Structures are given as C-alpha cells and as structure tokens.
Amino acid sequence: MSSVAEREVSFKRDLSEWRVALVAWRLLVLQAADPVVGAGMSEHSTYRAHPWRRIEHTLGSGRRLFYQDAETLRREVARLDRAHKRIRGTAPDGRAYDARDAATRAWVLLTLFECVVAIRRLGGDPYDAGQSEEAYAEFKGAVAAFDLPEGELPATAKDLPAYFARYAREKLEFTDAARYLMGDLLREAPRPRRLWFLGDAGWRVLRRLVARVITELTVADLPPVVRERFGMVPTRRAELLSVVLHRGAGALVRLLPDRMRYRSPAEQGPPRRYRPQRDPRGSRLDRFFREVLDQTGDGFVTVHDLRAMAHNVCWQLELDEAGEARVHEAFEGWWDQLRAAMDANGDGKVSREEFVAATAAGLDRDGTYLEQGLLPALRAVFTAADTDGSGFLEFDEYQAVFGGPRVHPAELSHGFRQLDTDGDGRITREEFLHGFTEFFTARADSTSGTQLLGRA
C-alpha cells in the first residue's frame, strides 16, 4: 500500500500522482499568463486544436525531467532547448518574445513545483516547512540541468510565496492565450479519445458541463494574487467544488496501492475508437486539412502549423540537432509550396476550401504536385524514423513517430499494414511514399493508402 511511501517526501513521486490532473488546467493558465509563453502559444502551439495533447506534453515532460534517470533528464533538457530556440518572434502588440528567456523558463519550471505544492495543500495533506524544503531541494537538483543564471530561482522554498507574488504583479497578464484557456477553448474542445464511447453528440452535451466545472475549479484554485491580478472572484459554488474534489481525491489516493496511485512516464493510454472511413478524394483532403494540417485549429494553415508538425515529429523521435534541422527544413519547404500554390492574397494563410480546391486541381493538372512539397517532408520523416539506417521502417520505428499514448496498438498496426503492401513486416521508402500518394490521388476508397488516417 502507499502508506510506506507517505513517510518520505518526494517531489518526483508526487508529480506522478494521478490527482495532479485536477490542477493541469490551472497549470496551463499560470504558464500562459506569462506574456512570452502566451505569445509563443498563440503563434506556435497547437493547444487550440489539441488541448489534451498540450496537457500531456506539459505533464509528460515534467515527469521526464523529474521522474527518470540522469540520462533521460539530459535528453529532455536538450530536446526542450532545441524546441524552444524556434519559438521566438514579435507579438501582435510589437513586443519581441523568445522562449529561451531565462525568467520565463524559471517561471514555467516553478509552476510545476507550485502545482504539486497546491495539490497537496488542496487535498488536505500539505507539505510542512521541512518537507517543503526537502521537495524544493529535489526540484532544484533536477532543474540545475537547465543552467539558469544565478538568482533566477528562489534560494529556498520559504522564498517561493514572495517570488510568486512579485512575478504575478510585475509580469503576469491576462494574455489572449490565458483568456482563451479560461473561456472558449473549453466550450470548443475536441472529444478526448478516451471518451470515444460518447460519440460527437454525447461529447457536445457533456462538454458544457466539463467547461463549467473546469473553469470554476480553475478560478477557485488559482493563487489569490493571480486572481487579484486577473480580476477574478470565485463563487461560493466554485469554492465548495474545489473542497469536495480535492479533499475527496486526496483521501482516495491515500488508500490506493502505489501502482494505482502513481503514473509511470512510459504508460500508454486507452484505445481509440474506430469509425468507418468511406470518404471520396475531396473528403479525404478535407479530413487531412482538419486532422493533420490545421494544427492550431483556427481554420487556416500557416507556417506555424507546419512548424508545429515538424516539432511533433522531432519530439516523438527525440532527434539530435542535425536530425531536427533536416525535418524542419523539409517542412519549411512544404509550406513554401503551399503558400505559392494556394495563398492567392498573400496573407500567409491557406483556408480549408483553398487547400482542397487547389490540391485537387494540382493533382489533376500536374503529376509533380506532391513532389514539390509533401513528399520531401515525408522523405525527411522516413529518414529520421529509420534510426538504424537500414532503409526500412520496422514496426517499432514506425510506432515511434506515428504511435503515442492515445493511439491504440490495433489502429497503429492497421496503419502499418496499409503501408506494408508486400506484407514482409517492414516498410520501404517506396512503400511509405506510395501509401501517402495514394491517399491524395486514389479515386477509389478500396485502395489501401486511402485509410492512412485510420478507420476511426
């Protein structure tokens, strides 16, 4: 049982508790309230279309930083460094932003520690002064790998309340990203794959309740200084909801064995539901736009969507700097082709209608259409996934880039078989590219490549 573990304090172990999910949205709001993070999310993140994936990445990265061995920690820090160096630019208000800003990085890391402190406090089992210092020392030992400038992190846990109050009053803003997280995103959020059994109609009904509960819980749980900064006042109902949920969860987890109380970083998620795929070519293009290209979920494809796709490929494969550079270069080339062929008014955006119409016309008109953009990007993905340089993708290599905690093994196996046309248990480069070409060009749905987005 977990009573043995409770006699010792471990920040790493507490971060892996299931009830941390109760403060996950609160964590995102605290991070998004930093103007640099908010600008980066607006310009580079896929959180609008994939909010649950954003939470998974945030908490999953935290577990890799604090719950694994030194080598995993080193790789995760290097991966974050490579990803963040591309997140920079100028916000709509004219302010420059860079995700490598030391103060911002310190804030984001400290929100992970603060969310663990909060979940313990809200759940009725807070750290005492000694435990807090012990947990903070463990936290600082891990984040030392980020090599932050001296003084960016508070020296002790006792200094944290003053740091949070000062940062909230001087730095935090109710950014567009934070406002969207607290408002429309929850009312528009796609159905989590683990709730496949609800169907779209059932999820639309439940989503209203989910949006209200998460919004009210987040307002009640935010630090008072942040609520004051944002002008938020929790309702009595929200405060009661917070007490009931957190105290109930706190009492429950203390009764659970460790295997049920803590989540392993490598743990896989539940299956996705299959849905029959019987789309003609135009519908396939439409689906490709919605489910693959439009990473930010705003109804348009921009350079940021392609960069987000490249980032996710690199993230899944844990590529080195040279490998990441090749993938990003290929996806930049794909965007150049999309923009040249489809962005008629030069506004840097391609709508769904423009993409479907221009792609269909381009395929009918010119056999080299795919060769100019998509296929070079796919070649880069294949080369990156072929980690042993054999010229083939074995199933484990395919799984590394197309799998994930929310993809059921049966669905993954189905996609692999669609590409492995000769059935020899491995995918050649030619089979890989041919399958995706069929997805775009085949006029009959019986062709194997037309099911590359799954039967779901």
Residue 88 β-bridge partners:
98
Q: Give the tens place of pLDDT for each residue, 303-335.
A: 888 888 888 888 888 888 888 999 999 999 888
Least confident of 223-232, 253-262, 309-318, 405-414: 405-414
To which H or E segment does residue 36 belong? helix 35-44
For position 23, what pLDDT does the model report? 92
Residue 414: pLDDT over 80? no
- How far is Cα 182 from Cα 214, in angstroms, rounded to an integer? 9
Residue 170: pLDDT over 90? yes
Q: What length does the chain have? A: 456
Residue 203: pLDDT over 50? yes
Q: Give the tens place of pLDDT for each residue, 232-249.
A: 999 999 999 999 999 999
Residue 194 near residue 269, CB atoms below 8 Å? yes
Confidence of residue 365 (pLDDT cuts 50, 70, 90): low
| Residue 69 CB neighbour total at 10 angstroms | 7
Least confident of 7-16, 98-107, 422-431: 7-16
Of 61, 80, 82, the residue nearest 15 (C-alpha):
61
Residue 55's φ and ψ, nearest 5 degrees, are: -65, -45
Residue 438 β-bridge partners:
none
- How far is Cα 131 from Cα 149, in angstroms, rounded to an integer? 26
- How far is Cα 28 from Cα 112, in angstroms, rounded to an integer? 10
Residue 336 near residue 376, CB atoms below 8 Å? no
One-character DSSP codes across 68-136: S-HHHHHHHHHHHHHHHTT-EEE-TTS-EEETT-HHHHHHHHHHHHHHHHHHHHHTT----HHHHHHHH
Average pLDDT score, the chain: 81
| Residue 255 CB neighbour total at 10 angstroms | 11
- How far is Cα 423 from Cα 403, in angstroms, rounded to an integer? 20
Residue 206: pLDDT over 50? yes
Confidence of residue 337 (pLDDT cuts 50, 70, 90): confident
Residue 83: pLDDT over 90? no
- Count the alpha carbons within 13 Å of 224 in the hemisphere toward its beta carbon: 3
Contacts of 60 by beta carbon, 8 Å cutoff, 6+ apart: 265
Q: List Cα–Cα distances, 368 to 61, 335, 362, 364, in angstroms.
A: 40, 16, 9, 10
Helices and strands in the chain: count of H runs, count of E runs: 22, 6
Of 230, 227, 229, 253, the residue nearest 238 (C-alpha):
227
- Average pLDDT (14-35) is 91
For position 114, what pLDDT does the model report? 94
- Count the alpha carbons within 13 Å of 221 in the hemisphere toward its beta carbon: 35
For position 314, what pLDDT does the model report? 86
Q: Any idea where the domains of the chain sit in the sequence?
A: 5-261, 281-451
Q: List Cα–Cα distances, 167 to 40, 99, 226, 348, 382, in angstroms.
A: 19, 17, 10, 35, 44
Torsion (CA) 77, 80, 85, 86 in degrees, nearest 10: 160
One-character DSSP codes across 202-240: HHHHHHHHHHHHHHHHHHHHS-HHHHHHHT----HHHHH
Q: Give the tens place of pLDDT for each residue, 38-66.
A: 998 887 776 676 777 777 777 677 767 77
Q: List Cα–Cα distances, 4 to 1, 125, 224, 258, in angstroms.
A: 7, 15, 34, 10
Confidence of residue 369 (pLDDT cuts 50, 70, 90): low
Planar angle of CA 420, 423, 428, nearest 5 degrees? 40
Residue 435 near residue 452, CB atoms below 8 Å? yes
For position 3, what pLDDT does the model report? 41
Contacts of 254 by beta carbon, 8 Å cutoff, 6+ apart: 2, 3, 6, 125
Which residue would you say has higher pLDDT here, 390 or 354? 390
For position 404, what pLDDT does the model report? 62
Confidence of residue 290 (pLDDT cuts 50, 70, 90): confident
Residue 412: pLDDT over 90? no
- How far is Cα 330 from Cα 323, in angstroms, rounded to an integer? 11
Q: What is the pTM of this model?
A: 0.63
Q: Which homologous superfamily is 281-451 in?
A: EF-hand (1.10.238.10)
- How far is Cα 302 from Cα 320, in angstroms, rounded to an integer? 26
Q: For residue 409, give the 3-state DSSP assignment.
A: helix
Which residue would you say has higher pLDDT here, 413 or 208? 208
State percent of the chain over pLDDT 70: 85
Least confident of 187-201, 263-277, 420-434: 263-277
- How far is Cα 152 from Cα 29, in angstroms, rounded to an integer? 21
- Average pLDDT (2-11) is 56
Q: Which residue has the tokens 């423009």?
A: 354
Q: Give the tens place of pLDDT for each residue, 108-163.
A: 999 999 999 999 999 999 999 999 999 999 999 888 888 899 989 999 999 999 99
Of 17, 20, 46, the residue nearest 111 (C-alpha):
20
For position 47, what pLDDT does the model report? 67
Contacts of 11 by beta carbon, 8 Å cutoff, 6+ apart: 66, 113, 116, 135, 136, 138, 139
